[in-house]
Structure 1
């Protein structure tokens, strides 16, 4: 049995870290599977990540349909179905982050430049194909409001499907991608632990910042072929992205050292004076 108090403490700290580093705004959220039941997950109630401070700020929901446990109708995120449907589709995924990070948003709306790993800390983004970009318009029914919210199991399932299924891991059901973009909305990233998903979310945004600077720098010299974005393989651009092998091996390297940035980030939020974690963050 996993200590639920420790798990919730980690979840609270994850919210604080991602807010501190501008990955989560007031509307972003992070969740974790309840390993003691495997049928529910924890996610903050309708609160901004900076003000989450204790168990009273966290809801528990059924993975099956996103409904609150014990019919508790206390307010929760309308987009909790992002989390429930991903956790339902991928049993080996235990944590999910949904972010509106402004550094990433341009890559969700520009069609000829793809977000791709440009340095080793973002190798988990992969290089076989461009990251999927979920356009919710494709999943809407005529009666749906066009507000971009993934606020039903149907829309959550459509988003979850974009992560794909890695057939090399069967019978374990693993996603092909760690990250899916959302047109005009943000991104979702998934991992096996809270610590790892925080790492992924941080470096998705970091990679976007570095890539944008590289594109601008190359463009200022008049030599950037934006259509290739590192995927065409024709060598026409001056930006050298990670290769498939470099992405794979960098991702494997970072997977076992995720504790290192996590420990530093915990110290940062503890000493910032901005956040309260009633359960302790050590």
Structure 2
């Protein structure tokens, strides 16, 4: 990542961001939210017009600030024109930061537990208290609705046009300007995966992990119900709007607990290196 001039206290803050970013990438791999693909980013703490991602590499292998690249929010192009090759889908991140100034971290995942809810017509809904942030239902974005004639149809968000369409799906029908936050913090991507937004790296990682866990719980509930004829007339009971609101608030109060545990797990694993 290109060198920048900061005060000693600013440098310490940036080092912590880098360390949290690398740890977050490792945690997401450890929990199978990211494999060799997918990515995490954060908005630069001293320059909101810049966001930071890793170079084009598997998240579990990122190990130092030298693996990180700063991009302009405006066009998702690297601040340093000589930067290492980056992720093709960085426009997912850039356009979300552009549309929602309150968003400070973005994750894009191809979780196999979540993808079925992007193609089955069954809505992903909050099933348990750790996933109240999902809301009453999770929007599904179909890239086919946003593509132009001649676009490559590989379901990848290759440019700012597609990234802007995805970003808009977090607030369907809403005209968000200024410092507004998205209506939804998770959007499913048809046949591809999901993207999650948050106000910090830690919150974004937690939401991504619990989105996957919620999908696994919902699938188990649906298949268990389908296997029991006596339950055919009984609907799966999801969180109410009041429960969604209250659990989202209450879980925020203890967000440090999973982060601290997950840090210890990746530090003790022996697979990951974090030299930031």
TM-score of the superposed pair, with normalisation by structure 1? 0.90
Instruction: Return closer, same or farther for 1:183/1:5 CA change in 2, 3 Å cut-off.
Output: same
Unaligned runs of 5+ in 1: 226-235
Instruction: Return closer, same or farther for 1:8/1:172 CA change in 2, 3 Å cut-off.
Output: same
- Quote the Cα distance in structure 1 between the aligned partners of 2:108 and 2:177: 26
Instruction: Return closer, same or farther for 1:165/1:183 CA change in 2, 3 Å cut-off.
Output: closer
Question: Is 1:116–1:131's contact at 8 Å kept on the other side of the alignment?
Answer: yes
* Of 117, 120, 123, the match for 1:110: 120
Q: Does 1:37 align with 2:57?
A: no
Instruction: Return closer, same or farther for 1:76/1:38 CA change in 2, 3 Å cut-off.
Output: same
Question: Is 1:94–1:191's contact at 8 Å kept on the other side of the alignment?
Answer: yes
- Correspondence 1:215-234 to 2 at 5 A: 215-222=222-229
SS at match of 1:71: coil
Report the Cα offset of residue 72 of structure 1. 2.7
SS at match of 2:215: helix
Aligned length in residues: 266
Per the alignment, residue 4 of structure 2 pairs with none
Per the alignment, residue 204 of structure 1 pairs with 211
Q: Does 1:23 align with 2:20?
A: no
* Of 155, 176, 179, the match for 2:186: 179
Report the Cα offset of residue 242 of structure 1. 0.5
Report the Cα offset of residue 199 of structure 1. 0.4
TM-score of the superposed pair, with normalisation by structure 2? 0.92
SS at match of 2:235: coil
Q: Does 1:91 align with 2:87?
A: no
For residues 231-254 of structure 1, the C-alpha deviation after alignment (integer angstroms, 9 at most, x for no partner) is xxxxx5331110000011000001
Report the Cα offset of residue 165 of structure 1. 7.2
SS at match of 1:81: helix
Report the Cα offset of residue 172 of structure 1. 3.0
Question: Is 1:165–1:174's contact at 8 Å kept on the other side of the alignment?
Answer: no
